[in-house]
Amino acid sequence: MTDSPEDHGSGPGLDLGVPAQPQPPAPKSYRVLARAYRPQTFAELIGQEAMVRTLANAIRRDRLPHAFLMTGVRGVGKTSTARLIAKALNCVGPDGQGGPTIDPCGVCEPCKAIAEGRHIDVVEMDAASHTGVDDVREIIEAVRYASVSARFKIYIIDEVHMLSRNAFNALLKTLEEPPEHVKFLFATTEVNKVPITVLSRCQRFDLRRIPVDLLVDNFRMICGKEGVDAEEDALRLIATAAEGSARDGQSILDQAIAHAGMVDGRAFVQVEQVREMLGLSDRGATRRLFDQILDGDATALLATLAEQETLGVEPVATINALLELIHAVTMAKAGRGAGLERHPEAERAAIAGWAEELSFPVLHRLWQLLLKGHAEVVAAARPQAASEMALLRLIHAATMPDPLELARMIREGGQGAPGGQGGAPAVDGPSAAPAAAAAPLPAPEEAARPVFPPDFAAMVAALLDRFPRLGAEMHDYVSLVRYEPPVLDFRILQPLDADFPRQVAAALKDLTGQSWTVGSTDAPGEPSLREQQVLAREARIAHASAQPVIAAALDAFPGAVVMDPASGQS
């Protein structure tokens, strides 16, 4: 007879005097902050109040679109918003009798299943790994069947811009007229790569970058729940480094907590530790560098740069810190001192002093030269050497007079003008005044101003004449957001070359002789010029068709069409 395991050491009459060893508890897996604090309700979704208000009104008035498109930079809540919409549409309330709501209960079975990612009627697909037409065909086949247990069958497609062109084309018809029980939720970081035919079938929500103050409040709340102490400046530094992304900021905060020391048994996140962790330039060193640039002290500047290199500060971080400081000084001089509260007290006084001392032309020149230096440092094989050369160039530019000052000095006879010794010899005596008056320099306001096309349409016409391909793309696939020469902002309506804005800037410089600032944005703009032409043609045809004589002719001759005399199209 074989004894069972229970017969050894625990059965009656067999006590060996050895106490039973308790089993160690199973290790609890740690969830990173970005996952642990992912928004579970719309109230927890920070920085997107306009979108939440629109969704609330749509649900309240039963005006729900069949397709949603969420776009924005990484980490602002696109996928989380899609899941919250899925919960809002399928929530049945604690009693099981509720309808769609902007405040899902979180306790009913649909809410819990969607939050845990196990609801059979909420299908989440990553378009980055399912890019083909076959993956879309599976969706097209499945939408014909009713949902199993939910009110709506919902398809969440993340990074939808990664779908192939054939996959997009296969989805179009279903996306335009899906069954009543189906909703599509798309998320993308690159909306300009989504075909306009898809965009026109979706209700679009542009999720904004999250302001620094809201991120700081979020990090303070997380630290309180995690039992962590943190300096306010440390949290603000993390929020600034996050660049508007809650997920990036929470990941940096997670790293900062692991990096922090312990005080009274609690982790204590300090600003200097965060700065060291991120490889950022110390603010005191940045102010010292700026003072050395303004003083023209090249020796001290190079010594400070060498010290920063020894501390492990990245050269590009030093340039970024100087750019931020010059921007703060310029904003303070322009009267926007309200933004200075995010700077330490000692820095605010220094910024105010520089704002009083420096002129706008000097600040703008420093900014432009530093931007050029930033590009050089990023592209250089030796970033430290590139940063040294860029800041030495800044030293010489800081002490140069601006063009208006040079013009004034020349009008006053060249006294004190740089390089005056190399010109013609000075003339003393009575003949000096007539000589100076012979060729007066025109006042700055009388100088010739560059001539720009009067409007966007004229600019595109000029491009069509000189650069046909570029002009045609601007005409057909670009939505104007801002035209304030020499600044041009537009939204690209269908995929174009990655460097399309640079090509446009180069062409406009060739046309006008002036440098242009050309940018691509996701902000809404005007219809493209081609769309405007189509709308105008349709309006002309509709107006003509409404005339009694033409309407009677159309009734008398079935199949007849009205031709637009301006375009020759029906």
| Position 565, amino acid | P
Cβ(325)–Cβ(348) below 8 Å: no
pLDDT at 541: 84
Helix and strand numbers, DSSP H then E, in the chain: 24, 11
10 Å Cβ neighbour count for 539? 11
Bridge partners of 483, per DSSP, are 488
The highest-confidence range among 62-71, 234-243, 353-362, 550-559, by mean pLDDT, is 62-71
Residue 194: burial class (beta carbons within 10 Å; 0-12, 13-18, 19+): buried
How far is CA 288 from each of CA 303, 313, 318, 347, 454, rounded to the nearest angstrom?
11, 15, 12, 11, 46
Mean pLDDT of 297-301: 88
More confident residue, 469 or 557: 469
pLDDT of 278 > 60? The answer is: yes
pLDDT of 377 > 50? The answer is: yes
pLDDT at 160: 92
Helix, strand or coil, per DSSP, at residue 82: helix
* Angle CA 22–25–29, to nearest 5: 170
Q: What is the pLDDT of residues 125-184, one digit of tens each?
A: 988 888 889 989 999 999 888 888 888 999 999 999 999 999 999 999 888 888 889 999
- What strands lie across the sheet with 487-492, from one edge to the other? 478-484, 487-492, 517-520
Residues ≥6 apart with Cβ < 8 Å to 554: 545, 560, 562
188 vs 201: CA distance, rounded Å: 15
Helix, strand or coil, per DSSP, at residue 492: strand
10 Å Cβ neighbour count for 511? 17
Contacts by 132-138 with C-beta closer than 8 Å and gap 24+?
Answer: 132/164, 132/166, 132/167, 133/164, 133/166, 133/167, 133/170, 135/167, 136/163, 136/167, 136/170, 136/171, 137/170
46 vs 77: CA distance, rounded Å: 9
Beta strand spans in 35-189 (E): 67-71, 122-126, 153-158, 182-188
Nearest C-alpha neighbor of 234 from the set 209, 262, 211, 260? 260
How far is CA 439 from each of CA 205, 409, 415, 418, 442, rounded to the nearest angstrom?
61, 14, 16, 20, 9
Q: Kindly report the length of the chain.
A: 570
Q: What is the pLDDT of residues 409-467, one digit of tens each?
A: 666 654 444 444 333 333 334 333 333 334 444 444 444 556 788 889 989 998 888 88
Model confidence at 479, in pLDDT bands (50, 70, 90)?
Answer: very high
Cβ(281)–Cβ(259) below 8 Å: no
Nearest C-alpha neighbor of 470 from the set 484, 455, 483, 459? 459
In degrees and rounded to multiples of 5, residue 540 shows phi and psi of -65, -40
Cβ(215)–Cβ(242) below 8 Å: yes
399 vs 367: CA distance, rounded Å: 14
Share of the chain above pLDDT 70, in %: 82
Name residue, tokens 């002719």. Answer: 553
pLDDT at 365: 86
Model confidence at 62, in pLDDT bands (50, 70, 90)?
Answer: confident
Helical axes 212-226 vs 232-242, angle rounded to 10°: 120
| Position 422, amino acid | G
Locate 336 and state its tokens.
Answer: 């926007």
The mean pLDDT of the chain is 81
pLDDT at 338: 52
pLDDT at 405: 63
Chain mean position to CA 491:
14
pLDDT of 112 > 70? The answer is: yes
Mean pLDDT of 228-236: 88
Bridge partners of 489, per DSSP, are 482, 519
Share of the chain above pLDDT 90, in %: 14
Residues ≥6 apart with Cβ < 8 Å to 258: none
In order of their start, the domains of the chain are 33-206 (3.40.50.300), 212-278 (1.10.8.60), 283-398 (1.20.272.10), 456-526 (3.30.300)
Nearest C-alpha neighbor of 47 from the set 249, 200, 234? 249
Cβ(102)–Cβ(60) below 8 Å: yes
Model confidence at 558, in pLDDT bands (50, 70, 90)?
Answer: confident
Model confidence at 24, in pLDDT bands (50, 70, 90)?
Answer: low
Locate 188 and state its tokens.
Answer: 């993308």
In degrees and rounded to multiples of 5, residue 272 shows phi and psi of -70, -35
pLDDT of 20 > 80? The answer is: no
Model confidence at 406, in pLDDT bands (50, 70, 90)?
Answer: low
| Position 393, amino acid | R
Locate 474 and state its tokens.
Answer: 């601007």
Cβ(141)–Cβ(169) below 8 Å: no
Q: What is the pLDDT of residues 513-523, one digit of tens each?
A: 888 899 888 88
Contacts by 19-28 with C-beta closer than 8 Å and gap 24+?
Answer: none
